[in-house]
C-alpha cells in the first residue's frame, strides 16, 4: 500500500467479523472512507478449499475447515509459530495429554484456570461467524436489568425498547428466518415481521414438544412453567434472500454450510466494498493503538505478514478521524493492553491511568451442559439444520435471584456432538465394542448390522443447555509475560472460573434434562468424557457429582458498557477515555444474558454505526 494513501480515511476498523462488516457497510453507504484491517486471510472466491480441508481431516471440530493448519505432522501446531494464531477445541485436553489445555506449545490461549475457558474463535476474514450455527435470538427484557433481581449483575445502560428497532434492522441485514408469534414470550415484542418465514420444525422438535405439556420439574424454580418448544430464529434462508441459496438441510451448519445458505459477514463485506468507499487489508495484524498528548487516538500500528508462518512484509501506522476496534472479546482487550504508548498509557489504552479500568475483566461465556438420549420411536435426526427449535420459556423467572437461567437448544444431529456419531456407534457395532454404551458386545454384519444401525441412529437426539454466567472481575484476559506469537506479540492469558450461581444453573440443567427425557420415555445416555478438565464437582444429596460443561463460542464482556465509573464504553460503545475510539461487539455486553449474542451484537453495531455516520463523521 502506497504511503501517500495512509491517513486519508474517515474510519479505521480493526476486524472484519460481523461487527466490523456491519459498521463498514453503513459508513461506506454514507460515503465515508473506511479501511478494515483484517488479521486473517482473504476469503477465497469459493469455499471448495475449505470444504476439502473439512472433509479430509479426521478432527471435525469447528476450526477444522479454516486456516491456519491445526496440525503439524501428528501434533497440534505450536501457536508460537503462527503469525495470527487462534484457539481450538483440540487444545482443551487433560494436563499431560494430547491437547493439554495449559501447554503453551499446544494452546494459543495461556490458560491459568482454575477452570478452562472452553470457547474458541477464528481470526479470518469474516471472523467466527464463519462457523456459527446461525441462531439469532433477541434478548428478553429482564436481561437488560438483572441488577434488580441479583446483586452480582449490573444493569445495561439501555433497555429492550432502545434496541427493538435495531433488532428489526439486524434481522433484515443478516437475513433471519422466523415467525414473530413463536417468539412472543417473556416480554419480547415486535414492531415488524421477520424478513423470511421460519425454517420448518424437525421431527426431533415435534417429539420433544409432544412430551412437554404438564411437565413438572420441582426444585429448580420452574414449578409453574408452561413448557413448550419454540422455533429458533436463524440467519439461514427459508427462501431466496441476499442471493443466498435456500437451506437444504445438510446438518453441517457448524463448522461450514456447504451451500452457503447461512449468513456470514462476507455477504455484508461484499455490499460494503461495492460502495467504493471501503478497503480491506488482509494478513494485517493491529499491534498498537497510538494515543497523542491530548488523549485522542492518532493511529493504529500494524504488521503485514506473508502466510501463516511466513515473514513480516511491512510495518506501519494508519490514521483516520475515528477508530473502531471490532475484534472479539479476547483479541480486542489484548490489543488495548499491548498499547503502552511509551508509558503514556501504562495500563493500556482505554483502561484508566488511576487503576480503575475494566479492560479484559468480566470475561463470560454460556457454559453448555450437554445431554443425550434414545427416543422410544425414530425421530430421524441428521435431517435439516443442526437445530431448528428450542425451549426458551425457561430463560427468565424469579429463580434468577438464586441461580443462572438457561435456554435449551434441541439438536438435530443425533449424537454427533456428544460422541462424534454416527462414526462411534458404527465402529462399535461392527467391532463388538461399546464406546457409545449402546452396543451388544457382539460384532454385527450384513442385515443385522443394517437393522441395528437404523434403529439406533434414527432414535438419537441431544439437548444443549446454554447457561447464564455471572460477570466476575477475576475472570479476565491479560497478556502473557512469556508466550508470544510468531510476530513477537504477547498471547492472551486467561483466568477463568464458574461462580456458585452459575454452577447452580448447570446443576438445574442436569435435573431438567433428565426430567424431559423421562417425560418422553427416552433412554438417557448422558455420560462424562474421561479426563475432561472442563468439569467440576457439585453436591447431589449426600455426595458430590461431577458435572461437565462445554464452550458455546460466546465470548463476552471484556470492555463492558455502563456508567463511567465502572465500564469501558458508553451506550454507543465509545471509549470513556478517548472520544474518537469505539470498542464494539460482545465485549461491550455488561452481562452475557440468556440468548446467543450475535443478533444483539449486530443490533448494537448498527446503532453505533448510525451514530457515527450522523453525529461524528457528519
Give residue 5's pLDDT: 44
Least confident of 269-283, 342-356, 380-394, 403-417: 342-356
- Burial group, residue 506, by CB count within 10 angstroms (0-12, 13-18, 19+): buried
- pLDDT of 435 higher than 60: yes
Give residue 6's pLDDT: 54
Phi-psi region of 85 (alpha: psi -120 to 50; beta: other; left: phi over 0): beta
Least confident of 4-13, 34-43, 90-99, 219-228: 4-13
* Beta strands 9-14; 34-37: pairing state: parallel
- pLDDT of 586 higher than 60: yes
DSSP 276-315: T-EEEESSEEEEEEEE-TTS-EEEEEEEEESSTT--EEEE
The reply to whether 207 falls in a domain is: no
Q: Which of these, 342, 325, 286, lies nearest to 558 by C-alpha position?
A: 325
Report the first-to-last Cα separation within the chain, whole angstroms: 27
The answer to whether residues 494 and 110 touch, using CB atoms and an 8 Å cutoff, is: yes
Per the structure, how many domains does the chain have? 1
The pTM of the whole model exceeds 0.85: yes
The answer to whether residues 472 and 362 touch, using CB atoms and an 8 Å cutoff, is: yes
- pLDDT of 569 higher than 70: yes
The reply to whether 12 falls in a domain is: yes
- pLDDT of 203 higher than 90: yes
Q: Which of these, 590, 591, 589, 565, lies nearest to 577 by C-alpha position?
A: 565
The reply to whether 175 falls in a domain is: yes
Alpha carbon 509 to chain centroid, angstroms? 20
**Using 50, 70 and 90 to split pLDDT, how confident is the model at 7?**
low
Q: Which of these, 409, 499, 64, 397, lies nearest to 254 by C-alpha position?
A: 64
Give residue 4's pLDDT: 38
* 410: its cell numbers: 434441541
The reply to whether 72 falls in a domain is: no
Q: For all residues of the chain together, what is the average pLDDT? A: 95
CATH of the domain at 57: 3.50.50.60
CA-to-CA distance for 560 and 479, rounded, in angstroms? 19
Q: Give residue-wise pLDDT tens across range 110-167.
A: 999 999 999 999 999 888 888 999 999 999 999 999 999 999 999 999 999 999 999 9
Give residue 46's pLDDT: 87
Q: Give residue-wise pLDDT tens across range 375-429.
A: 999 999 998 999 999 999 999 999 999 999 999 999 999 999 999 999 999 999 9
Interhelix angle for 203-211 vs 500-519, to 10°?
Answer: 90
Q: Give residue-wise pLDDT tens across range 549-566.
A: 999 999 999 999 999 999
DSSP 177-241: B--GGGG--TT---SS--SBPPPPPPHHHHHHHHH-TT---TTTT-TT-----EEPPBSB-SS-B
- pLDDT of 238 higher than 80: yes
* 166: its cell numbers: 435495531
- Exposure pattern of 2-33 as b/e (b: 16+ CB <10 Å)? eeeebeebbbbbbbbbbbbbbbbbbbbbbebb
The reply to whether 5 falls in a domain is: yes
* 516: its cell numbers: 424431559
Give residue 2's pLDDT: 38
- pLDDT of 257 higher than 50: yes
- Expressed in percent and rounded to 5, the helix, strand and coil fractions of the chain are 25, 20, 50
The reply to whether 338 falls in a domain is: yes
Give residue 531's pLDDT: 87
Whole domain around residue 22: which residue ranges?
1-67+120-191+260-363+556-618
- The average pLDDT across 45-57 equals 91
**Using 50, 70 and 90 to split pLDDT, how confident is the model at 3?**
very low
- Using only C-alpha atoms, the chain has a radius of gyration, in whole angstroms, of 24
Amino acid at each position: 500500500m502506497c504511503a501517500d494513501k495512509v491517513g486519508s480515511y474517515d474510519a479505521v476498523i480493526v476486524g472484519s467479523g460481523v461487527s466490523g462488516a456491519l459498521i463498514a457497510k453503513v459508513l461506506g453507504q454514507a460515503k465515508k472512507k473506511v479501511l478494515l484491517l483484517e488479521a486473517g486471510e482473504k476469503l477465497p472466491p469459493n469455499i471448495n478449499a475449505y470444504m476439502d480441508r473439512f472433509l479430509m481431516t479426521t478432527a471435525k471440530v469447528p476450526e477444522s475447515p479454516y486456516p491456519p493448519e491445526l496440525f503439524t505432522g501428528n501434533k497440534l501446531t505450536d501457536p508460537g509459530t503462527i503469525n495470527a494464531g487462534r484457539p481450538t477445541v483440540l487444545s482443551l485436553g487433560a494436563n499431560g495429554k494430547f491437547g493439554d489445555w495449559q501447554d503453551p506449545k499446544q494452546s494459543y490461549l495461556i490458560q491459568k484456570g482454575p477452570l478452562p475457558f472452553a470457547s474458541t474463535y477464528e481470526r479470518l476474514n469474516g471472523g467466527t461467524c464463519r462457523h456459527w450455527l446461525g441462531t439469532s435470538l433477541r434478548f428478553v427484557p429482564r436481561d437488560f436489568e438483572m441488577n434488580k433481581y441479583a446483586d452480582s449483575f449490573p444493569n445495561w445502560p439501555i433497555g429492550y425498547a432502545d434496541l427493538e428497532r435495531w433488532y428489526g434492522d439486524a434481522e433484515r441485514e443478516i437475513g433471519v428466518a422466523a415467525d414473530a408469534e413463536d417468539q412472543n414470550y417473556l416480554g419480547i415484542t415486535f414492531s415488524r415481521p421477520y424478513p423470511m418465514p421460519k425454517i420448518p420444525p424437525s421431527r426431533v422438535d415435534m417429539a420433544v414438544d409432544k412430551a412437554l405439556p404438564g411437565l413438572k420439574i420441582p426444585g429448580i424454580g420452574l414449578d409453574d412453567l408452561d413448557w413448550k418448544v419454540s422455533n429458533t430464529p436463524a440467519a439461514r434462508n427459508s427462501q431466496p434472500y441476499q442471493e443466498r441459496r435456500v437451506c437444504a438441510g445438510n446438518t453441517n451448519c457448524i463448522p461450514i454450510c456447504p451451500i452457503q445458505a447461512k449468513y456470514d459477514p462476507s455477504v455484508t463485506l461484499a455490499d460494503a466494498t461495492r460502495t467504493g468507499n471501503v478497503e480491506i487489508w488482509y494478513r494485517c495484524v493491529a499491534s498498537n493503538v497510538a494515543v497523542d498528548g491530548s488523549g485522542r487516538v492518532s493511529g493504529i500500528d500494524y504488521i503485514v505478514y506473508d502466510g501463516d508462518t511466513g515473514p513480516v512484509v511491512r510495518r506501519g501506522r494508519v490514521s483516520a478521524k475515528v477508530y473502531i476496534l471490532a475484534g472479539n472479546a479476547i483479541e480486542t482487550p489484548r490489543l488495548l493492553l499491548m498499547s503502552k504508548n511509551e508509558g503514556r498509557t501504562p495500563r493500556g489504552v482505554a483502561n484508566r491511568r488511576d487503576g480503575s479500568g475494566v479492560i479484559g475483566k468480566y470475561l463470560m461465556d454460556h457454559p453448555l451442559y450437554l445431554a443425550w438420549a434414545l427416543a422410544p420411536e425414530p425421530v430421524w435426526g441428521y435431517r435439516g439444520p443442526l437445530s431448528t427449535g428450542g425451549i426458551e420459556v425457561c430463560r427468565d423467572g424469579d429463580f434468577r435471584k438464586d441461580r443462572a437461567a438457561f435456554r435449551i437448544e434441541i439438536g438435530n444431529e443425533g449424537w454427533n456432538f456428544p460422541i462424534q456419531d454416527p462414526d462411534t456407534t458404527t465402529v462399535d457395532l461392527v467391532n463388538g465394542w461399546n464406546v457409545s454404551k449402546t452396543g451388544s458386545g457382539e460384532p454385527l454384519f450384513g442385515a443385522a448390522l443394517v437393522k441395528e444401525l437404523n434403529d439406533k441412529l434414527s432414535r438419537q437426539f441431544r439437548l444443549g443447555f446454554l447457561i447464564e454466567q455471572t460477570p466476575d472481575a477475576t475472570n479476565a484476559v491479560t497478556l502473557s509475560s512469556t508466550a508470544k506469537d510468531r510476530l513477537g506479540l504477547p498471547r492472551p492469558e486467561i483466568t477463568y472460573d464458574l461462580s456458585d450461581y452459575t454452577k447452580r444453573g448447570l446443576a438445574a440443567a442436569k435435573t431438567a434434562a433428565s426430567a424431559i427425557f423421562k417425560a418422553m420415555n427416552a433412554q438417557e445416555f448422558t455420560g462424562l468424557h474421561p479426563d475432561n478438565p472442563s468439569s467440576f464437582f457439585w453436591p447431589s444429596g449426600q455426595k458430590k457429582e461431577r458435572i461437565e460443561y462445554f464452550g458455546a463460542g460466546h465470548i463476552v464482556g471484556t470492555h463492558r458498557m455502563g456508567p463511567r465509573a465502572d465500564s469501558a464504553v458508553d451506550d454507543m460503545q465509545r471509549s470513556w477515555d478517548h472520544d474518537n475510539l469505539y470498542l464494539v461487539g460482545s465485549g461491550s455486553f455488561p452481562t452475557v444474558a440468556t440468548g446467543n449474542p450475535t443478533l444483539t451484537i449486530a443490533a448494537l453495531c448498527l446503532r453505533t454505526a448510525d451514530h457515527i455516520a450522523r453525529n461524528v463523521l457528519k
